[in-house]
Amino acid sequence: MTKRRGEVAGVDVHCPPWCESGIKGHRQALREGCEPDQARTHLSVDLGGQVDDIRNYLTGRLFRPGQGGWRVWLEAGPLMTTLVLELRTITRGKNIPAGKRKHNSVRLDLTTDEARSLAAQLIHLADREDLR
């Protein structure tokens, strides 16, 4: 089991349950040259998915040919005052050369309530589009 509490660069660190680094990982980041606050930043495993074509969920109508995907993870600073949800989307259209693939990224500082509300609203909006 990964150690969840310890000292990193002279500061006590307590990892949240979702932190993949553990104290060993935070210390390793420091040895690899990260600034102390950066080394103490907690990161979750990133979740993601990939789709071959973007289609309407119900009708199957094709919106965008080609692969696309996303990755999302949690991040919190050493003082745990902010929770960051970072979302990256990757578009690999069938006619887009490998070097010209489109990557979009957005970082959102959210409370857990805001994250839940956003997720519910995104599902609502996707349903409205798919059901029209």
- Contacts with Zn ion, residue ranges (CB under 5 A): 15, 19, 21, 42
List the one residue out of 53, 49, 57, 50 whose CA is nearest residue 128: 57
Q: CB-wise, 68 or 76, nearer to Zn ion?
A: 76
Q: CB-wise, 19 or 85, nearer to Zn ion?
A: 19
Q: CB-wise, 37 or 127, nearer to Zn ion?
A: 37
User: Is-contact 29 39, C-beta < 8 A?
Assistant: yes
Q: How far is the CB of 26 from Zn ion (least distance, A)?
A: 6
Query: From CA 52, how far away is CA 119, in angstroms rounded?
Result: 23
Go through the chain and tell me how many residues it has: 132
Q: How far is the CB of 107 from Zn ion (least distance, A)?
A: 18
Q: How far is the CB of 100 from Zn ion (least distance, A)?
A: 36
User: Is-contact 99 72, C-beta < 8 A?
Assistant: no
